[in-house]
Structure 1
Amino acid sequence: MRRLRGGLQALLVYAVLAFLAAVYVAPIAFMVVGSLKPDARVLADMGSAAAFVPAEASLENYRDVFGRVSFGRFLFNSVLITGAIMLGGLLVNGFLGYALARLRWRGRGWVLAGLLALLILPLEAIAVPLFYQVTLLGWRDTYVVQILPFVAHAFFVYLFYVFFLGLPKELEEAARMDGASVLGTYFRIILPNAKPAFATVAILTFLFQWGQYLWPLMVTSGERVRPLPVAIAAFRTLPPLQWGDILAFGVMMVAPVIVVFLAFQRWFVRGVAESGLKG
């Protein structure tokens, strides 16, 4: 009887998980299938099971996207902006997390308290004064204005801080006995042992920044530095309204996120576990 009850509970859990997976996958499946259909079929099949059947499939919508807008330019902008934020963030946030976790210096407690306070402060709360500041500096409609404000991130500093607290202090003590400097210890000893934390922060930074919309919308006005999220919003307003083209644009914008996550999900899960459960 107990074995039967356990089997029924496991079946119920799997049924719930399968339902939730279907709910999350359905919009992506609809977008991919719709991007392969003629525009008329996208609207005609909406609301029925036929919406998930790739009837009359072709790549015409994808060719239309490249013919109507400079998709390659928008993709380059997103890769450049996200990549710069990710690489700069690994350096800056890693340094600050290590300094808070391992070094003892005056004002450390205040910086840590301020960091924790910043965790609950959304971008919308500082968007207007930040916009005013970058306007005074003449940074609008540039790559710099989309990169520099997001390199340092309180949440990622905290992830590094928690992870570094869990590393054995004997590693640093041995390095310093051998004459290594603070920077030498960080790059030669700490960094190789913190690969899961760096992988987690890199993936999360990519996921957060790739879909950034509000700030680029505020600070860009031309196509030269426009990233994909703003570009697809502008693409939707271009006549004629072709839903097949819009879905094709969406597929090409979402595909890098899915590929990056699937490629590095093992590191992501390991890094979240080690960063979040230690300390």
Structure 2
Amino acid sequence: MNIQTKKKVNKAFLYAVQIFVAVVFVIPLVWMIVSSLKPEVDIFKDMNSLATLMLNNPTLENYKEMFARSEIVNSMLNSTFYIAMILIIGIPVNALAGYSLAKLNFPGKKIVLGLIIALYIVPFETVLLPLYLVSNGLGITNSYLALILPFVGNCFNIFLFRQFFMSMPKDLEEAASIDGCGPLKTFVRIVIPNSKPVLATATVLTVTTHWSDFMWPLISVTSKEYKTVQLAIQGFFTDPPVRYGPIMAALVFTTIPIIILFLLLQKYYVEGITSSGIKG
């Protein structure tokens, strides 16, 4: 087998593995969508074969029941609002912190970076109770502040920004410095406009994390006024009757915004993950 043939075989094998992995991840999503359009009695039929992915008697009754039983739209608006506030406040804060760690020299810089990495490693469950006690002590529980303030600073996003800024060419900053720009002016006028990939990456990761967050909203807000997407979905499991058709419909309906966001930012997201992951 010559070198060219060997390369083609390796490439074909790699594509086959990638297709297989893609199918493994896509099948549950397809099953969820198909199940949301099936009558309740047909959802768990033929689970041992691909026939379960077939749609024979499509119906929208599950979606009608979903809207009738739950204020899913209001919950989605609540989640959209508080996540948007986290992005609006948090992205500049995390980007500035990452830029400082990447480009500025100050005493204790390595210690601060080590602490950020260490805090990221700590599981959220270990700080859940202390975080609730602090929030309750500040009197911000059962409000949007409880959902927003604890997550403005994000250790992973800070590290992500730091890695990306480390890879930026120094020529841009030197040119800005010659033109009389200080660090902050350089950051705003030069660095940020050239940071679309990492901004998109941080946005996608932040949105997906908090859109699917269940535990913190469950203990920090109790009023229906602040109910989030995951709490609304949980209601289908706790409020009788428990029917899987509306559950599947709710899962599909609340997944659509995340899919749209990813498709819109996919190009920048992949570029940001790649550049932030291999540089630094």
Over the aligned positions, Cα root-mean-square deviation in angstroms equals 1.7
Correspondence 1:20 to 2:28: no
Q: Partner amino acid for 1:16? A: V
> Residue in 1 aligned with 2:267?
266
> Residue in 1 aligned with 2:133?
132
Residues 10-89 of structure 1 mapped to structure 2, 5 A cutoff: 10-89=11-90
User: For 1:52 and 1:97, how far apart are their aligned partners in 2?
Assistant: 46
SS in 1 for 2:222: coil
> Residue in 2 aligned with 1:169?
170
Q: 1:254 to 1:178 in 2, by over 3 A?
A: same
Q: Partner amino acid for 1:209? A: H
User: For 2:22 and 2:124, how far apart are their aligned partners in 1?
Assistant: 30
Contact 2:146 2:221 in 1 (8 A): no
SS in 2 for 1:57: coil
User: For 2:46 and 2:265, how far apart are their aligned partners in 1?
Assistant: 35
User: For 1:240 and 1:47, how far apart are their aligned partners in 2?
Assistant: 26
Q: Partner amino acid for 2:61? A: E
SS in 1 for 2:226: coil
Q: State the Cα deviation string for residues 108-139 of structure 1 (Å, max 9, x = none).
A: 23212211211211111111111111111121
User: For 2:206 and 2:10, how far apart are their aligned partners in 1?
Assistant: 37
Contact 2:38 2:59 in 1 (8 A): yes
User: For 1:22 and 1:181, how far apart are their aligned partners in 2?
Assistant: 50
SS in 2 for 1:224: helix
Q: Partner amino acid for 1:91? A: P
Q: State the Cα deviation string for residues 18-48 of structure 1 (Å, max 9, x = none).
A: 2222211111111000001111111334443
User: How many angstroms does 1:4 deviate by?
Assistant: 5.2
Contact 2:204 2:261 in 1 (8 A): yes
User: For 1:244 and 1:98, how far apart are their aligned partners in 2?
Assistant: 48
Q: State the Cα deviation string for residues 71-129 of structure 1 (Å, max 9, x = none).
A: 11111011112222222221110010111112222332321221121121111111111
Which region of structure 1 is more displaced relative to structure 2, 244-253 or 35-44? Answer: 35-44
> Residue in 2 aligned with 1:227?
228
Q: State the Cα deviation string for residues 178-216 of structure 1 (Å, max 9, x = none).
A: 222332211111111222111111111112221111111
SS in 2 for 1:240: coil
Q: Partner amino acid for 2:213? A: Q
User: For 1:54 and 1:84, how far apart are their aligned partners in 2?
Assistant: 40
Residues 184-223 of structure 1 mapped to structure 2, 5 A cutoff: 184-223=185-224
User: For 2:131 and 2:9, how far apart are their aligned partners in 1?
Assistant: 55
- Flag structure 1 segments of 5+ consecutive residues without an equivalent: none
> Residue in 1 aligned with 2:239?
238
User: For 1:50 and 1:141, how far apart are their aligned partners in 2?
Assistant: 46
Q: 1:131 to 1:160 in 2, by over 3 A?
A: same
Which region of structure 1 is more displaced relative to structure 2, 10-19 or 229-238? Answer: 10-19
Q: Partner amino acid for 2:96? A: F
Contact 2:208 2:258 in 1 (8 A): yes
SS in 2 for 1:23: helix
- Flag structure 2 segments of 5+ consecutive residues without an equivalent: none
User: How many angstroms does 1:49 deviate by?
Assistant: 2.5
Q: Partner amino acid for 2:209? A: F
Q: TM-score normalized by structure 2?
A: 0.93
Matched residue count: 279
User: For 1:14 and 1:216, how far apart are their aligned partners in 2?
Assistant: 41
> Residue in 2 aligned with 1:115?
116
